[in-house]
Amino acid sequence: MTSLRFFPLAGLLVATPAAALPDDPLQSPMWEFVGSQILGADASVRFDPRVRVVMPQIAENQRVFPVTVDARGIAGVRRIVVMIDLNPIQKAVDYQLREAEPYLSVRVKLDQRTPVRGLVQLADGSWLAGGSWIDAAGGGCSAPPVSRVKGDWAQHLGEVRGEQWTGGSGGTLRLAFRHPMDTGLVDNIPAYHLEEVTVATAGGKRVGTLQIQAATAEDPVFTLRPRTAGEELRITGRDTNGVGYAALIPAVRAR
Amino acid sequence: MIDRRTLLAGGAGLLAARPVAAALTYAITPQPVGEGLWIVRGADEPIAASNGGAIANLAIIATDAGTVLVDAGPSLRYGEQLKRVAIALTGKPVVRVYLTHLHPDHDFGSMAFAPETVAATDAFRAFPLSEHQGFGDGMYRLLGDWMRGTEFRMPGRSVPVGPEVIGGRTLRLLPLAGHSASDLALVDERSGVLIAGDLVFHDRAPSTPHADLARWKQSLATLRALPHRGVIPGHGPFDPSAHAAIDQTVAWLDWVEGALRGAVQGGLDMVEAGALPIPPRFAALKAARYELQRSVAHLYLGLEAELLPRVDQR
């Protein structure tokens, strides 16, 4: 009697974790595995067209492929993750936002035809997901960076370019870092990448923090949408060898 | 945007429509544009399995000594078909193939011809073989069996300085640059037609993967000043006027450069720059959005390095 009663219950316990992630509308062969690695096997995930993942029609350059995740149609977004299912490094960037619109532009590497996803986390911990497939030639993660071939990468470590704008649609901050962003998948070049960048006002109001992995393109460029009304912004960051980045974006007035 | 469904449909279609290699045949239809001069039109599209990569124009010239080709198409298969079509048209064997520049939609068909008949500039011949092989990898990936047997060989002959006379026909050879690091244009003196290669596009948006825009515009000014009537562009229809296609190419390059500079200065990212509205005056240009987005990929990083201010405090 007892064993019969427990049988269906045992079945339920085994099945629950695998069933937690919903079926993937993109039918990716790696969704369940990569999704559960990055979000957790018991994460609550819904696919939602309001998570707009905007990309060019083709991957002209598989080493520098621009992706924008625009979730400004969704209230209460705390975090944006850019995930590339079929890359050897699947998570490109993990952006925890505070005083910012839920919007992130990055450039990523593509190692083959793959889904590219934007995953946004709400205050209750649940995730909303969007994205689509993009075709790409191979080698985005396994070819040496241009600055390694040139040999001048070390001369430019720490360099940052950037600017902020304010206007009708709110603030825009663009940041461009020089870094080889080595994946560790190229012969004799260990992994070495920009790891963390924080943006805040002089008064300590945090716009957000970016956790960055080497699936982000060489010389990473980010576009954020701060809600800090053009106040001066301080940028701090470091790479995986402990090299520090510091930059100051001057204040601008609304046009 | 390419979605999964399109990809699957494309893949399934490919398998269903082309079970055997023998089904792969190019449509090569020469159209006369002068005495003993024909244009073979490419599809005004991106390179795709649906067109076999035959997107570039080429020219066939009849001379007393034999047939001259300017460019030769995207694959060995194309080049072999082209050879049969050209010989049937002129009644004479192919004695010379000029290659205008290093892009694979123009030069891989030359593998069907003896290397000593294939001519290119010294600058073209100085490009490393690995660069051509890299193009080959990309073409095989996109085109599959259309490319079977195509393996790049360097042209065996250098383009001379000055005019070349073949079978009584004088060809003015103009080694220029800007679309790529070496672009050859020709004027056929008998017909007065300029065969411009990819220095000139017509009603098809120019592509910029190896472009130096300033040099390209210099080359276009040189071409504009030539005495010629009619232009065979690298892509798009024959231009029976001397200047319409040249001026259109200049206008597009000016617009793209200005629009992308403005985009960087206005705070747009690459995705937004690729979505900029295309002015109505370019409505006739095919593949305009596609080429704008490609140009963003080619040019934007350089423009950001030039235009965004340094803000680090080291």
Residues in chain A with CB shorter than 8 Å from the CB of B311 are 160-163, 235, 247-249
- A134 to chain B, closest Cα gap in Å: 6
Does B269 sit within 8 Å of A162, measured CB to CB? no
Question: Is B3 close to A246, i.e. CB distance below 8 A?
Answer: no
Task: Give the pLDDT score at A146.
Answer: 83
Q: How far is A108 from chain B (nearest CA, A)?
A: 12
Q: Quick check: B72 and B79 in contact, CB under 8 A? A: yes
What are the backbone angles phi and psi of residue B223, rounded to the nearest 5°? -65, -40
Q: Has residue A9 been placed in a domain? A: no
What is this structure's pTM? Answer: 0.90
Structure tokens at B126: 């100085």
What integer best gives the mean pLDDT of chain B? 93
In this prediction, residues A113-131 reach a mean pLDDT of: 97
Contact A130, A49 (CB under 8 A): yes
Q: What is the pLDDT of residues B201-210, one digit of tens each?
A: 999 999 999 9
Cβ-based neighbour number of residue B47 at 10 Å? 22
Query: Which of these, A248, A227, A247, A253, lies nearest to A103 by C-alpha position?
Result: A227
User: Phi/psi of residue B272, each to 5°?
Assistant: -70, -40
A223 assigned to some structural domain: yes
Please work out, in degrees rounded to the nearest 5, the angle formed at the alpha carbon of residue B309 by the alpha carbons of B307 and B311.
155
In this structure, is residue A93 part of a structural domain?
yes
Q: Mean per-residue pLDDT for B180-202?
A: 97
What span, in angstroms and rounded, lies between the C-alpha atoms of B73 and B57? 8
Q: Considering only CB atoms, which chain B residues are within 8 Å of A135?
A: 2, 7
ipTM > 0.95 for the complex:
no
Token look-up 């599959």 returns B144
Instruction: Show the tokens assigned to A25.
Output: 């509308």
Comparing A162-166, A192-196, B21-25, B100-104, the range with the smallest average pLDDT is: B21-25
Q: Is residue A13 part of a domain?
A: no
Q: Is the CB of residue A85 less than 8 Å away from at least one CB of chain B? A: no
Q: Is residue A137 part of a domain?
A: yes
In a domain, A130, yes or no: yes
Interface test with A, best of B270, B278, B310 (most A CBs within 10 A): B270
Read off the pLDDT of residues B39-54 as tens digits, 9 standing for 90 and up: 999 999 999 999 999 9
Residue B193: pLDDT band (50, 70, 90) is very high
The Cβ-side half-sphere exposure at B313, using a 13 Å CA radius, reads: 10
Number of domains, chain A: 1
User: How confident is the model over B63-108, as pLDDT tens digits?
Assistant: 999 999 999 999 999 999 999 999 999 999 999 999 999 999 999 9
Beta-carbon separation of A66 and B304 below 8 A: no
Average pLDDT over residues A158-179: 93
Residue A169: pLDDT over 90: no
Residues of chain B found within 8 Å of residue A55, distances taken between Cβ atoms: 1, 271
Q: Between chains, do B4 and A249 touch, taking CB under 8 Å as contact?
A: no
Q: Are residues A133 and B3, on separate chains, in Cβ contact within 8 Å?
A: yes
Domain ranges of chain B: 16-243
Contact B208, B291 (CB under 8 A): yes
Chain B positions touching A245 (Cβ under 8 A) are 312
CB contact under 8 A, B313 and A246: yes
Residue A9 has pLDDT above 70, yes or no: no
- pLDDT tops 60 at residue B21: no
Does B312 sit within 8 Å of A246, measured CB to CB? Answer: yes
> Is pLDDT above 80 for B261?
yes
| B19 has a pLDDT exceeding 70 | no
Residue A243: inside a domain: yes
* Yes or no, beta carbons of B290 and A57 under 8 Å apart: yes
pLDDT tens-place string over residues A42-74: 999 999 999 999 999 899 999 999 999 999 999
In order of B271, B301, B305, the CA distances from A65 in angstroms are 9, 12, 17
B122: tokens are 């010294």
pLDDT, position A144: 79
B18 pLDDT band (50/70/90 cuts)? very low
User: Which whole number is the average pLDDT over B265-281?
Assistant: 97
Q: pLDDT > 90: what percent of chain A?
A: 80
User: Would you state the pLDDT for residue B162?
Assistant: 85
pLDDT cut 70: percent of chain B above it:
93
Q: What is the pLDDT of residue A19?
A: 52
Digit-coded pLDDT (tens) for A123-151: 999 999 999 999 998 777 877 788 888 88
pLDDT of residue A98: 97
Quote the pLDDT of residue A147: 84
Nearest CA in chain A to B274: A56
CA B280 to the chain's CA centroid: 25
> Mean pLDDT, chain A, as a whole number?
90
For A173-208, the pLDDT digits (tens) are 999 999 999 999 998 899 999 999 999 999 999 999
User: What's the Cα-to-Cα distance from B38 to each of A69, B59, B68, B86, B111, rounded to whole Å?
Assistant: 50, 6, 11, 10, 21
Question: Which of the four pLDDT bands, split at 50, 70 and 90, describes residue B11?
Answer: very low
pLDDT, residue A200, reads 98
B47 neighbourhood in chain A, CB within 8 Å: none
Fold of B16-243: Metallo-beta-lactamase; Chain A (3.60.15)
Contact A161, B310 (CB under 8 A): yes
Minimal C-alpha gap between B223 and chain A (Å): 30
**Chain B contact present for A113, CB below 8 A:** yes
How far CA A228 is from CA of A101, A202, A208, B24, B275, in Å, comes to 10, 11, 11, 60, 27
pLDDT by residue (tens digit) across B140-183?
999 999 999 999 999 999 999 889 999 999 999 999 999 999 99
A185 within a domain of the structure (yes/no): yes
- Report the CATH number at residue A187: 2.60.40.2470
Q: How confident is the model at residue A254 (pLDDT cuts 50, 70, 90)?
A: low
Beta strands in A19-159 (DSSP E): 45-47, 52-54, 65-70, 77-84, 91-97, 100-108, 114-122, 127-134
